[in-house]
Structure 1
Amino acid sequence: MPALAFDDVSVVRGGRTIWSDSTLRVEAGQFVAVIGSNGSGKTTLLKVILGLLPVAHGTVQVYGSRPGARNDEIGYVPQHYDVNATEAIRARDAVLLGLTGRRWGFARPRAEDRRRVDEALKWVEATDFADRRLSELSGGQRQRIALASALVAHPRMLILDEPLASLDIRTQHEIVELLARLKRELAVTILVVAHDLNPLLAVLDSAIYLLDGHAHHAAIDQVVDSDLLTHMYGTRIKVAHTLQGQLYMRSD
């Protein structure tokens, strides 16, 4: 069963077609970038997957079900994760909200809840600062807590909106390595909305790219193409290799 399956999908918002005639299939367990120029419909794509926006035509399946039906199996990290969290909250309690935030009423956390919080913190290597307040954490530490909040419910899919934005190069590298390990050890499908693919190229399997009013999906080595990327972003993009043979992109 694929993680995502689009069959002849079109999306309309405010009377305007965002993209149309889109058929794609993403296998479970892949690490997938979501790319496209500004206004191409990346956020729209996420809303469709989460069942927050109906399609005008075609069908979408998420692990074989209609969008929204299995959102408890999707961990979502917004671009500005901590905007929705109180700065005074402890990191540990922010992760706990990933479990209890969907429940009605207030209750003391169960022993199983606390165990799963500890487990998620360990997965993202955040145990050492789990009892500090979010306001005291660095950007990279907050990103780890955001990931733990998304992972604590044991999702099958992670959706991350610009997880590397505002991080320095070293921290970007650490987060990318962490994501690659999580994908490998937890067998989770990862979708990452990204403007800059360079930090992710070594770990990506494929990309969903929005081009000419359609959503496409292809292996990453087919997407990292100078002509395709130049057409997509409207500026000259060159694809080259480092001395170690790794791909990277640069604009002229």
Structure 2
Amino acid sequence: MAEPAVTCENVMLSRGERDILSGVSLSVPEGCFVGLFGPNGGGKTTLLRALLGLQPVARGRITVLGDAPGACSAQIGYMPQSRGGNGASLTGWDLLGSGMSGNRWGIPWRSRADTLAIREALDAVDATALADRRLGALSGGERQRLLIAQALIGWPRLLLLDEPLASLDPVRMRDVAERLGRIAKQRGMTVICSAHDINALMGVMDSVLYVARGQARLGTVDEVMTTEGLSALYGAPVEVCRAPSGRLLVSADAL
């Protein structure tokens, strides 16, 4: 049986005096596309950082691709939440190329293989036309697509995406989500993708990982996204409805 891509065993993650997540135990199979959801401040970004080895584990154990967090960084693609405003004079080529030379001495230089890898990543998210434009002239959604392409360079085994669909209009949001789903299946890539709107990833993700009030629950959409399941996570009444179109509607004062 293949080694899980990610495992958490009774994990606690803290920030200062505050426990962000506690008692988290889960296993993500290799090749699985996981949608990561929860309220602002619920622990989505903290969990992704812990998988990268950037957030210390207060208690418990995490393994990533069979090793400790941070030990397999070359096999992990990561897109952090976009803060914007930096590198406005850089082109898309500059942005993606900057990640290719971090382990080389001297003046940054792109090899033929580097250029091919960048072209493949740009094409994967339909961002080739953006490569020659300066970041300062791009919309937020266009910059998001370039950042996703940057995370895809080299076709990592594990792809961690923190709000990659932010700033995208609904049509582009769905297009990018479907492209990511196809890439993951074609490459056998494990993806953990945080988002605010679950509907953008419906039909793309295999599992839902929902974090709230220090707890986490992993399962299928039908297992996790229920009135009973979310009410238990939040410790307050939460109503989950499915519209005739298939969209999920979640409402509660607790959210």
Q: TM-score, normalised by structure 2?
A: 0.88
Range moving further from structure 2, 95-104 or 191-200: 95-104
Alpha-carbon separation, structure 1, partners of 2:237 and 2:161: 26
Maintained 8 Å contact 1:98/1:150? no
Q: Which residue of 1 aligns with 2:143?
A: 142
Secondary structure at 1:61 match in 2: strand
* Aligned ranges 1:51-70 → 2 under 5 Å: 51-70=53-72
The residue identity in structure 2 corresponding to 1:13 is: R
Q: Percent identity?
A: 40
In structure 2, the CA distance between the partners of 1:126 and 1:16, relative to structure 1 (3 Å rule), is: closer
* Aligned ranges 1:25-44 → 2 under 5 Å: 25-44=27-46
Alpha-carbon separation, structure 1, partners of 2:190 and 2:98: 22
The residue identity in structure 2 corresponding to 1:42 is: K
* Aligned ranges 1:1-252 → 2 under 5 Å: 1-80=3-82, 82-83=84-85, 85-232=86-233, 236-243=238-245, 246-251=246-251
Q: Which runs of 4+ in 1 moved over 4 A?
A: 230-235
Maintained 8 Å contact 1:140/1:175? no
Range moving further from structure 2, 62-71 or 155-164: 155-164
In structure 2, the CA distance between the partners of 1:74 and 1:93, relative to structure 1 (3 Å rule), is: same
The residue identity in structure 2 corresponding to 1:59 is: R
Maintained 8 Å contact 1:29/1:183? yes
Once the two structures are TM-superposed, the CA of residue 120 in structure 1 deviates from its matched residue by: 1.5
Alpha-carbon separation, structure 1, partners of 2:90 and 2:28: 37
Gaps of 5+ in 2: none
Once the two structures are TM-superposed, the CA of residue 232 in structure 1 deviates from its matched residue by: 4.2
Alpha-carbon separation, structure 2, partners of 1:169 and 1:143: 14
Once the two structures are TM-superposed, the CA of residue 126 in structure 1 deviates from its matched residue by: 2.0
Q: Deviations over 1:63-99 (max 9, x none)?
A: 100000011111111221644x411211122111222
Q: Deviations over 1:87-117 (max 9, x none)?
A: 1211122111222245454232112211211
Maintained 8 Å contact 2:125/2:176? no
Once the two structures are TM-superposed, the CA of residue 169 in structure 1 deviates from its matched residue by: 1.2
In structure 2, the CA distance between the partners of 1:178 and 1:82, relative to structure 1 (3 Å rule), is: farther
Once the two structures are TM-superposed, the CA of residue 214 in structure 1 deviates from its matched residue by: 2.5
Maintained 8 Å contact 1:224/1:239? no
Once the two structures are TM-superposed, the CA of residue 12 in structure 1 deviates from its matched residue by: 2.8
Maintained 8 Å contact 2:9/2:60? yes
Once the two structures are TM-superposed, the CA of residue 235 in structure 1 deviates from its matched residue by: 6.3
Secondary structure at 1:99 match in 2: coil
Alpha-carbon separation, structure 2, partners of 1:210 and 1:104: 42
Maintained 8 Å contact 1:36/1:232? no
In structure 2, the CA distance between the partners of 1:198 and 1:111, relative to structure 1 (3 Å rule), is: same
Alpha-carbon separation, structure 1, partners of 2:40 and 2:117: 38
CA RMSD for the aligned pairs?
2.1
Gaps of 5+ in 1: none
Q: Deviations over 1:198-239 (max 9, x none)?
A: 211221111222244233321222111123234545564322
Alignment length (residue pairs): 249
Alpha-carbon separation, structure 1, partners of 2:216 and 2:250: 23
